[in-house]
Amino acid sequence: MIANIRTAMRAQGADAVLLTSQANRRYVTGFHSTAGVVYISEKHAVFLTDFRYIEAARQQVSGFDVREPGDGQSYAAVVNKLLQSDHVHTIALEDDSLTFDDYTDWQDKLTAKVQPQRGMMKRLRAIKTPQEVEQIIAAQRIAESAFLEVLDDIRPGVTEKQLAARLTYLMLYYGAENMSFDPIVVSGANSSKPHGVPSHKEICDGDFVTMDFGCIVNGYCSDMTRTVAVGYATDEMSAVYDTVLRAQKAGIAAAKPGVTGKDLDSAARAVIEDAGFGPYFGHGFGHGVGLYIHEDPTASPRSKSTLQAGMIVTAEPGVYLPGRFGVRIEDMLYLTGDGCQNLTESPKELLIL
Ligand code: ZN
Ligand code: ZN
């Protein structure tokens, strides 16, 4: 990990990097902290954190010199000493997570020339290590257990909010440390809003219920969506569901290293367009998942990503008929040497409860 950062650092013409965001600190040290900075140069790899974390960090973090700035010193003061002893001319900062105010503050305080990282950490984080994939799978299995169990609760009279609460409870019960995001549970006409908010609306016979949810294990997110019908599904509902499922399968079949995010999106979009629902698929096919719920790569008509082995990308096409109903089905794919492994095991044939 540190070696990869040094390689990327050299490629950008920087002599050191400073990692300030919670996610990047956790990514490189494996340690969760709400405060601290990571300094990496050719000679040093230092994790600076405060009194609240220092004891645990010293026990758990390996590969880094773990220090606490003493005597009321600021992180900047300690970093400046390192910059001096390492003869650093240029240090790269996290321009994609620091506020403008924080960025200029570091710039003012540090004695070396500051330059933006320009997506360096994003690109590194897009390729998952086997250990990261393990955490994502663990989070996914918890979400799947919750899905299986929440199916028993979906019946006329129960509200979207109650189902969202139940999903949250079940994921925590099965060991999640938190939700990846607030679960989306939308039904009937509400299901035409891709990111609708669960309401007090009761589930009715003839509703589609779309549930988009995920949880966090050791900092890593999972993400899945399933749409089920309650009581019955009209021929039109079945046709839309079948279209979305075929589109998702076409996308999954196309997912392999070397394919662009744009082409991956097109593989699924073509199925939806051929079925006449093109205008009703208004978002991208997928996104990366990791320490954040949305990471690189992206798979959409505007994507600039190219898929590489080790990336994770979601497969989540949908069709949304305004004021009527919507369907989305989402799995997480792990890109391997010659294709992909679907990390989602929940069934996705149309379920009528
Ligand atoms: Zn999702
Ligand atoms: Zn997603």
The per-residue pLDDT string of the chain (353 residues; one tens digit each, 9 = 90 and over) reads: 899 999 999 999 999 999 999 999 999 999 999 999 999 999 999 999 999 999 999 999 999 999 999 888 999 999 999 999 999 999 999 999 999 999 999 999 999 999 999 999 999 999 999 999 999 999 999 999 999 999 999 999 999 999 999 999 999 999 999 999 999 999 999 999 988 899 999 999 999 999 999 999 999 999 999 999 999 999 999 999 999 999 999 999 999 999 999 999 999 999 999 999 999 999 999 999 999 999 999 999 999 999 999 999 999 999 999 999 999 999 999 999 899 999 999 999 999 99
pTM for the full predicted model: 0.93
Distance CA 130, CA 48 (A): 27
CA 314 to ligand 1 center in whole angstroms: 8
Ligand 2 center to residue 262 CA distance, Å? 16
Q: Of 336, 125, 352, 131, nearest to 232 (Cα)? A: 352
Ligand 2 centre to CA of 289 (Å) is 8
Other beta carbons less than 10 A from residue 339's beta carbon: 15
Which one of the ligands is nearest to 312 CA?
A: 2
Alpha helix ranges (H) inside the chain = 2-11, 22-29, 51-60, 75-85, 100-109, 120-126, 130-150, 160-173, 235-254, 261-274
Which residues place a Cβ less than 5 A from the ion ligand 1? 212, 223, 225, 330
Burial 243-281 (b: 16+ CB within 10 A, else e): bbbbbbbbbbebbbbebebbbbbbbbbebbeebebeebb
Please report which ligand is nearest the Cα atom of 328.
Answer: 1
Sign of CA dihedral 298, 300, 303, 306: positive
Q: What is the pLDDT of residues 56-106, one digit of tens each?
A: 999 999 999 999 998 889 999 999 999 999 999 999 999 999 999 999 999
Q: 182-235: per-residue pLDDT in tens?
A: 999 999 999 999 888 999 999 999 999 999 999 999 999 999 999 999 999 999
Of all ligands present, the nearest one to the C-alpha of 225 is 1
Question: How many whole angstroms from 211 Cα to the centroid of ligand 1?
Answer: 8
What is the Cα–Cα distance from 160 to 164, expressed in whole angstroms?
6
